[in-house]
Amino acid sequence: MIKLKNVSYKVMDKETGKEKYIVKDLSLDFPKNKFTIITGHNGSGKSTLIKLIMGVIQTTSGEILLGEKKINSLSVDERANLGITIAFQQPVKFKGLTVRDLLNLASKSTTNIPDACEFLAKVGLCAKDYVDRELDDRLSGGELKRIELAIALAKGGDVLLFDEPEAGIDLWSFDSLVDIFKKLKNKTIIIVSHQKKLIDSADYILLLDSTNDAIIGKKKEMLPLLNSPKCRKLGGLIND
Q: For binding to other proteins (CB under 8 A), which residues are involved?
A: 54, 56, 75-77, 80-81, 85-86, 88, 92, 94-98, 101-102, 105-106, 108, 151, 155
Bridge partners, 224 (sequence order): none
Instruction: State the minimum distance, in angstroms, from the CB of residue 49 to other proteins.
Output: 16
Could you give the CA distance from residue 195 to residue 177 in angstroms, rounded to a whole number?
12
Instruction: State the minimum distance, in angstroms, from the CB of residue 184 to other proteins.
Output: 17
Q: Which is nearer to other proteins, 135 or 206 (CB)?
A: 135
Could you give the CA distance from residue 33 to residue 159 in angstroms, rounded to a whole number?
8
Instruction: State the minimum distance, in angstroms, from the CB of residue 78 to other proteins.
Output: 9
Instruction: State the minimum distance, in angstroms, from the CB of residue 52 to other proteins.
Output: 14
Q: Which is nearer to other proteins, 25 or 134 (CB)?
A: 134
Backbone φ, ψ for residue 176 (5° rounding): -70, -30
List the strands of the sheet with 159-163, edge to edge.
Answer: 84-87, 159-163, 188-192, 35-40, 204-208, 215-218
Q: Which is nearer to other proteins, 27 or 109 (CB)?
A: 109
- Inter-axis angle of helices 99-107 and 141-155, to 10 degrees? 20
Q: Which is nearer to other proteins, 152 or 231 (CB)?
A: 152
